[in-house]
């Protein structure tokens, strides 16, 4: 079958087609109100027959539903006395010294939180069994409240899920039901409850989207990227919407790691994915890191997901002057409609893209390979509206907009590196996304980095990452106890049971167990601690010694305390598609080169087509390096060259 990776972004929907060893790329404007429309439009424009397609795509449907608060009417079910757990949370204030924080709306309205029996103790014995009277009262309340989805979160249900199953079985078949023992069978009723509620809250939205997409692509084999960086068949996705919250960004990291694996590149990357609406930053040390402490819209997400930091800064970020006369950039975005003023779709407010165009860092005639002409006059007029408030020239204001956007992104990159004790100079700054190349040199300078990478097909790298993503599952389950007392056999058997569950899910996608690679690991802590460290599983002795060493490295000390096992983790991955980036073809050359003038540059700026650059040929800044899906601004004092796969390697020129 023909492989196609699709990334649905806030401004553009990107396509990367792989057929017979060749890559073909395409972009269309996104349709946020119905994302499947842009996907169907792009596939039609590419002239593809859905029956011959294997589609892997990153979906923002779950993420946007959470960010915009557009989930369905959801009923939250807890044990007696615990219906307010989600509203109370962890009582952690976002601003430590703010004694009067504004009240925050609870995740679930109190009238939609109900209580029932079926309470377990920490050792798995029943404190309050679930009775028939409980079930009858539960069914009456559900009928009275008329929800579209139900989230069931009972205490210690990961030890025994029979009560949650009985409640789910008592519900009408048309309701979307999430059980905490299935969504996140881990200790911590608040985090488990949030994950279960989010899964139920946005589950029907995701299910409806996937149904419409499947109807529009009859016969296609459709998979969706999970937040943990593995693909899952679409027909197994609807019940696990919470696993898709970082679907698109996970594809970008997979694409960056894949591109950097080419010759001349290094595996240690500090990445930033700058699209139209947001920028995602992450570390890639061989492969993307995973975390279970991510947050979306302020809610903790304890499900495994790629470890990244996201800010509201993108090419479409809007600039404005606040009441105090200060220039602000983002997080509000112009989105896909109307988009930046220079797109000529009715936008009148200035964006980062408009500012780059005013500064001469974008070629108005060559945007998206010449398929879209940018309106310089409209961009200048939009920026002029802000410039007049600041009493600055249009160019000075545009430069200010870009500098502020750069500072937002540099701060985010420091969060993911410096604030974790890592020196950015030990990594290669890697930019992708449609707008990333315009800012890569400035960000590298801000972080003291002298090397940068703009991968081949950087403007659609998330879609490329979808193509090289293996099918897989990452499963977790709590198994509390001192690891020395649990013993080798019990830990191994519990891990095998989790691995068998992952293999069973992959078998439903047609994968044989022999083809699956299994990685087993444990979350460990000293008895009495609340936080854990994750270590690979080999033996009890190796786990204990490894934990002491990891704790020493992370915190500077080790304790003479017993080591406690908290969670089991299994990652099952099928073989990745055997794709390779084609080697760079001989450059055709351009004669004569086009030149533009850029603000702040004393010499003319060459406009160079990326496809016209020969492998290894040096390029000196200032220059604009353009391709069909992105533009790189090679700033003065920087030089670039292409490796054999077409990756653009940048280095700061030293005297």
pLDDT digits (tens, 9 = 90+) for 378-399: 999 999 999 999 999 999 999 9
Share of the chain above pLDDT 70, in %: 98
Instruction: Tell me the CATH number at 38.
Output: 3.30.420.40
* Residues 192 and 86 reside in one and the same domain: yes
CB-CB contact of 502 with 508 (8 Å): no
* Residues 95 and 142 reside in one and the same domain: yes
In a domain, 96, yes or no: yes
For the chain, the domain total comes to 4
* Residues 87 and 194 reside in one and the same domain: yes
Whether 592 shows a pLDDT value over 70: the answer reads: no
Task: For residue 655, name the pLDDT band (cuts at 50, 70, 90).
Answer: low
In a domain, 354, yes or no: no
In a domain, 68, yes or no: no
Mean pLDDT, all residues of the chain: 90
In a domain, 265, yes or no: no
Looking at per-residue confidence, does 538 or 27 come out higher? Answer: 538
Question: What is d(CA 413, CA 274) in angstroms, rounded to the nearest whole number?
Answer: 12
Task: For residue 95, name the pLDDT band (cuts at 50, 70, 90).
Answer: confident
* Residues 194 and 213 reside in one and the same domain: no
Give the three-class secondary structure for 416.
helix
Question: What is d(CA 237, CA 225) in angstroms, rounded to the nearest whole number?
Answer: 10
Average pLDDT over residues 346-375: 88
Question: What is d(CA 164, CA 82) in angstroms, rounded to the nearest whole number?
Answer: 15
Question: What is d(CA 255, CA 241) in angstroms, rounded to the nearest whole number?
Answer: 23
In a domain, 362, yes or no: no
Question: What is d(CA 557, CA 598) in angstroms, rounded to the nearest whole number?
Answer: 54
pLDDT value at residue 221: 93
* Residues 41 and 84 reside in one and the same domain: no
pLDDT digits (tens, 9 = 90+) for 248-295: 788 888 888 888 876 555 678 999 988 877 888 999 887 788 888 888
Question: What is d(CA 82, CA 155) in angstroms, rounded to the nearest whole number?
Answer: 9
* Residues 41 and 82 reside in one and the same domain: no
Question: What is d(CA 512, CA 509) in angstroms, rounded to the nearest whole number?
Answer: 9
Domain final residue pick, 191, 225, 246:
246
* Residues 22 and 87 reside in one and the same domain: no
* Residues 539 and 609 reside in one and the same domain: no
In a domain, 267, yes or no: no
Looking at per-residue confidence, does 610 or 495 come out higher? Answer: 495
* Residues 85 and 152 reside in one and the same domain: yes
pLDDT value at residue 30: 86
pTM of the shown model: 0.85
* Residues 99 and 16 reside in one and the same domain: no
* Residues 121 and 224 reside in one and the same domain: no
* Residues 504 and 565 reside in one and the same domain: yes
Closest by Cα among 480, 467, 28, 482 to 257: 467
Upstream peptide bond of 81 is cis (omega within 30 degrees of 0):
no
Looking at per-residue confidence, does 96 or 393 come out higher? Answer: 393
In a domain, 376, yes or no: no
In a domain, 610, yes or no: yes
Average pLDDT over residues 431-446: 92
CB-CB contact of 593 with 606 (8 Å): yes
Domain final residue pick, 165, 199, 233:
199
pLDDT digits (tens, 9 = 90+) for 510-559: 999 999 999 999 999 999 998 899 999 999 999 999 999 999 988 899 99
Which range marks the domain in which residue 238 is found?
Answer: 2-63+207-246
């Amino acid at each position: 079958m023909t492989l196609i990776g699709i990334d649905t972004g806030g401004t553009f929907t990107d396509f990367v087609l792989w057929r017979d060893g060749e890559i073909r790329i395409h972009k269309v404007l996104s349709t946020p109100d119905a994302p499947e429309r842009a996907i169907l439009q792009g596939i039609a424009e590419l002239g593809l027959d859905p029956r011959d397609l294997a589609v892997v795509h990153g979906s923002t449907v779950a993420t946007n539903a959470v960010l915009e608060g557009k989930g369905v009417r959801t009923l939250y079910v807890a044990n007696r006395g615990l219906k307010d757990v989600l509203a109370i949370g962890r009582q952690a204030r976002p601003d430590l010294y703010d004694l009067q924080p504004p009240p925050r709306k609870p995740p679930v309205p109190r009238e939609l939180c109900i209580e029932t029996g079926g309470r377990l103790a920490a050792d798995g014995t029943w404190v309050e069994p679930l009775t028939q009277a409980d079930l009858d009262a539960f069914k009456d309340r559900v009928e009275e409240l008329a929800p579209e989805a139900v989230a069931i979160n009972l205490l210690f249900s990961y030890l025994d899920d029979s009560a949650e199953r009985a409640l789910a079985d008592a519900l009408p078949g048309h309701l979307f039901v999430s059980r905490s023992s299935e969504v996140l069978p881990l200790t911590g009723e608040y985090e488990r409850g949030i994950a279960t509620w989010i899964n139920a809250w946005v589950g029907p939205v995701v299910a409806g989207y996937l149904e419409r997409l499947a109807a529009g692509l009859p016969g296609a084999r459709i998979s969706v990227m999970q937040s943990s960086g593995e693909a899952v068949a679409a027909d197994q996705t609807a019940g696990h919407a919470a696993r898709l919250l970082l679907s698109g960004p996970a594809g970008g990291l997979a694409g960056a790691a894949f591109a950097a694996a080419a010759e001349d590149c290094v595996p240690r990357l500090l990445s930033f994915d700058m699209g139209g609406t947001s920028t995602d930053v992450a570390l890639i040390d061989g492969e993307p890191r995973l975390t279970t402490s991510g947050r979306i819209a302020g809610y903790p997400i304890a499900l495994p997901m790629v470890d990244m930091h996201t800010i509201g800064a993108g090419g479409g970020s809007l600039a404005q002057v606040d009441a105090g006369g200060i220039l602000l950039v983002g997080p509000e975005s112009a989105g896909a409609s109307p988009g930046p003023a220079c797109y000529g779709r009715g936008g009148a407010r200035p964006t980062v893209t408009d500012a780059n165009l005013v500064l001469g860092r974008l070629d108005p005639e060559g945007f998206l390979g010449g398929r879209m002409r940018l309106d310089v006059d409209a961009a200048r007029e939009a920026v002029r509206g802000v410039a007049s408030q600041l009493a600055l020239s249009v160019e000075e204001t545009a430069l200010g907009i870009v500098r502020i956007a750069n500072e937002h992104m540099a701060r985010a990159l420091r969060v993911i590196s410096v604030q974790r004790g890592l020196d950015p100079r030990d990594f290669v700054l890697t930019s992708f996304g449609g707008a990333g190349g315009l800012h890569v040199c400035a960000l590298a300078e801000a972080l003291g980095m002298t090397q940068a990478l703009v991968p081949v097909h950087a403007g659609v790298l998330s879609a490329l990452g979808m193509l090289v993503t293996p099918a897989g599952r990452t499963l977790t389950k709590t198994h509390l106890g001192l690891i020395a007392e649990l013993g080798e056999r019990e830990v191994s058997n519990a891990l095998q049971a989790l691995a068998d569950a992952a293999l069973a899910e992959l078998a439903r996608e047609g994968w044989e167990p022999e083809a699956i690679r299994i990685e087993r690991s444990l979350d460990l802590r000293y008895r009495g601690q609340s936080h854990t460290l994750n270590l690979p599983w080999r033996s009890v002795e190796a786990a204990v010694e490894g934990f002491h060493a990891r704790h020493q490295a992370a915190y500077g000390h080790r304790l003479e305390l017993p080591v406690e096992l908290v969670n089991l983790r299994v990652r099952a991955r099928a073989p990745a598609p055997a794709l390779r980036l084609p080697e760079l073809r001989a450059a055709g050359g351009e004669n004569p080169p086009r030149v533009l003038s850029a603000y702040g540059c004393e010499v003319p700026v060459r406009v160079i087509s990326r496809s016209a650059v020969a492998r290894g040929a040096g390029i000196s800044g200032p220059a604009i390096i353009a391709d069909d899906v992105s533009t790189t601004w090679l700033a003065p004092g920087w030089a670039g060259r292409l490796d054999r796969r077409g990756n653009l390697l940048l280095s700061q020129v030293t005297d």
